[in-house]
Amino acid sequence: MKKDREDSPEPPRGVIEVEGLAMNGLLKSFSVEDCGKPKGYQRIVAETIDGRVIKTGCLEPDAARREVMVMNLYLRQWSKFIVRQDSGR
């Protein structure tokens, strides 16, 4: 029996891909979660504006902290400058 695509988790995404989505206003939110092994490593878990949940691979603690700062900058400031076509509503 084939699994539905929605039942299968997406493969880990690269940090640059998640940053690009944030920079272009295509992320709704993100959080950080522990990877478990190696101890202290974390991953970014992001929700896109169309509801998909994507995760990065595990990051070293310092890299994860830097990534959170960058993602906050993109989501809170840069993505507001994205021009979108008016939907007519």
pLDDT in tens, 16-60: 899 889 888 889 999 999 998 888 999 999 999 999 999 999 999
Domain assignment present for 63: yes
What pLDDT is stored for residue 1 in this prediction?
Answer: 43
Domain assignment present for 13: yes
Closest by Cα among 43, 36, 59, 34 to 10? 43
Domain assignment present for 64: yes
* Model pTM score: 0.73
Domain assignment present for 3: no
Domain assignment present for 36: yes
Domain assignment present for 83: no
Look up the domain containing 24 and give its range. 9-77
Domain assignment present for 59: yes
What CATH code is carried by the domain that includes residue 58?
2.40.50
